[in-house]
Structure 1
Amino acid sequence: MNTMTTTTYAAAARARGLHKVYGEGETRVLALDDVSVEFPRGEFAAIMGPSGSGKSTLMHCMAGLDSVTSGSATIGDVELVGLKDQQLTRLRRDRIGFVFQAFNLMPTLTALENITLPGDIAGRRPDRDWLARVVDAMGLADRLKHRPGQLSGGQQQRVACARALAGKPEIIFADEPTGNLDSHAGAEVLALLGSCVRDFGQSVVMVTHDPVAASHADRVVFLADGRIVDELRAPTADGVLDRMGRLDVADRVG
């Protein structure tokens, strides 16, 4: 029977020598090329890079949403490579929270039902005190009976953030969480993700193309051509924009 490998760890998520290949022969694409990176506990990290750089692929491989061609990917003390589908499903359900650009809410369910849906599917009773704290932090107390169609985009993304937090995950992966929002709603969601780290002790890894969004993170990791090429701590929007500009120039020159 395949078991989950346990190791000594300090990181919420870690990749070692990660390779991801799509296709074969003439259609072969090397999406990730020997990527090694750690995302410590209690950090808000952003992943950035030019289009096609591999940033979403990296997040999907580290979150167990996509398979790895070779190398190692761990969530806490669990090695993802080699896990069976049922084990991966359990890992994602119990230890990871997800926030997506498209919200991914069920239109026929209320906000509260959407928030508790993963736990309901797993047959877990919600921790009412924790749930109340999350709902309050997300500013949703007066919206719990509303369905997604009755909520603004920003409110829907708050519901998605609350859903990601409801199960007390070790890490939250956010894929372009402000991509469908205006600047005001986007700023609110980014502040909420930041509060997940500061107030709830979560770890957040966010893929984004927006320098302003990335400036809310503690650290930005930059990818180009499937490899990590730079990182920036305590980022500012101008600093991120400058680094991205250099990557674009290098890509054109190359």
Structure 2
Amino acid sequence: MGTMNEHAVAEVEHLGKVYGTDGAAVVALAEVSVRFRRGEFAAIMGPSGSGKSTFMHCLAGLDTPSSGKASIAGVDLGSLNDEQLTQVRREKIGFVFQSFNLLPTLSAWENITLPLSLSGKKPDPAWTEQVIEAMGLQDRLDHRPAQLSGGQQQRVACARALITRPEIVVADEPTGNLDSRSGAQILSLLQRCAREWRQTVLMVTHDPIAAGYADRVLFLADGRLVDEMTQPTPGRVLDRMRRFDTQAVG
């Protein structure tokens, strides 16, 4: 596996997650194995309760799998203690959430550089300038979140996710609270992260239009990986989603 791992920025092997015990046990994930390359933009889709969020949380070290393993940049997350795991999450993974998760009392600049402040690091001027320019935030850095539109707030969140030059950007329904124009801007930015900056971008979404921006779409159902699609289009994704509604999967 050694040589294979060098190409996979993130990988899960036989990942399983069970909540509860015995009669009350709920299987959220069962035997999911998948690898993500550097510079890949992957979308994770599936019906409600299919295990999408659990999958992302286990991969990003926010939740512990019941079986199997998750690795980032060749490091098995299960082998790390809490302190090491926090460091991996802070330095190797950038998070973008549906609800922006910005701190209201901080300016856009302070929100963007927060992951570095927490690690006691200074921003790299050239990289920071590139990220802020790409997000179109040059004249918004002194503004607090309440003074920004939803789309601008999410662009601040994207800049915050990228500021540490992470291995992976994890985006959980990043366009869920945005109008279609702002959403399209965010999706184009995530696409650029993958193509230009060779970041690996993993996005949970239920939106076929959002999934159409990705290089590959993984479909989960009942905690299992049931299908994948390369070079997706919104129409093909929608057709695949409709089949979930008409068939009993698993």
- TM-score of the two chains, using structure 1 as the length reference: 0.95
Structure 2 counterparts to residues 54-65 of structure 1, below 5 A: 54-65=51-62
Q: Which residue of 1 aligns with 2:29?
A: 32
Paired residue for 1:19?
Answer: 16
Q: From 101, 109, 114, give the equivalent of 1:112.
A: 109
1:229 aligned partner: 226
Matched to 1:72, the amino acid is: K
| CA distance in 1: counterparts of 2:100 and 2:181, whole angstroms | 17
Question: Given that residues 6 and 78 in structure 1 are in contact (C-alpha distance below 8 angstroms), is that contact kept between their aligned partners in structure 2?
Answer: no
Aligned CA RMSD, in angstroms, stands at 1.5
Letter in 1 for 2:226: V
SS at 1:142 equivalent: helix
Q: Is the 8 A contact 1:45 1:218 kept in 2?
A: yes
Contact 1:6 1:79 (C-alpha < 8 Å) held by counterparts: no
Amino acid at match of 1:215: G
After TM superposition, list the pairs within 5 Å mapping 1:203-222 onto structure 2. Answer: 203-222=200-219
Aligned to 1:239: 236
Q: CA deviation at 1:82?
A: 2.9
User: Counterpart amino acid of 2:74?
Assistant: D
- What is the Cα deviation at residue 6 of structure 1? 11
Instruction: State the distance in 1 between where 2:161 and 2:24 align.
Output: 36
1:49 and 2:30 correspond = no
Letter of the 1:238 partner, please give it: G
State the Cα distance separating 1:231 from its structure 2 match. Answer: 0.5
TM-score by length of 2: 0.97
Post-superposition offset of 1:81: 1.2
- Structure 2 unaligned spans of 5+: none
Q: 1:7, 1:78 within 8 Å by CA — same for their partners in 2?
A: no
Moved over 2 A (4+): 5-9
Q: Does structure 1 residue 162 correspond to structure 2 residue 143?
A: no
Aligned residue for 1:69?
66
* Residue pair 1:16, 1:34 contacting (<8 A) in 2 also: yes
- The secondary structure found in structure 2 opposite 1:200 is coil
Q: Which amino acid aligns with 1:49?
A: G
Paired position in structure 2 for 1:177:
174
Distance 1:8 1:246, change over 3 A: closer
The within-5 A match list for 1:194-205 is 194-205=191-202
> Would you say 1:96 and 2:122 are equivalent positions?
no
Residue 129 of structure 1 and its aligned partner are, at CA, apart by: 1.0
2:183 is matched with which residue: 182, 186, 190?
186
* Partner Cα separation in structure 1 for residue 226 and residue 55 of structure 2: 14
Distance 1:89 1:62 in 2: 13
Whole-angstrom CA distance in 2 between matches of 1:186 and 1:98 = 16
Counterpart AA for 1:51: S
Q: 1:26: how far off?
A: 2.2
Residue 232 of structure 1, CA deviation: 0.6
Q: For this pair of structures, how many residues does the alignment match?
A: 249
- Stretches of structure 1 that go unaligned for 5 or more consecutive residues are none
Q: Would the aligned equivalents of 1:7 and 1:77 in 2 still touch at CA under 8 Å? A: no
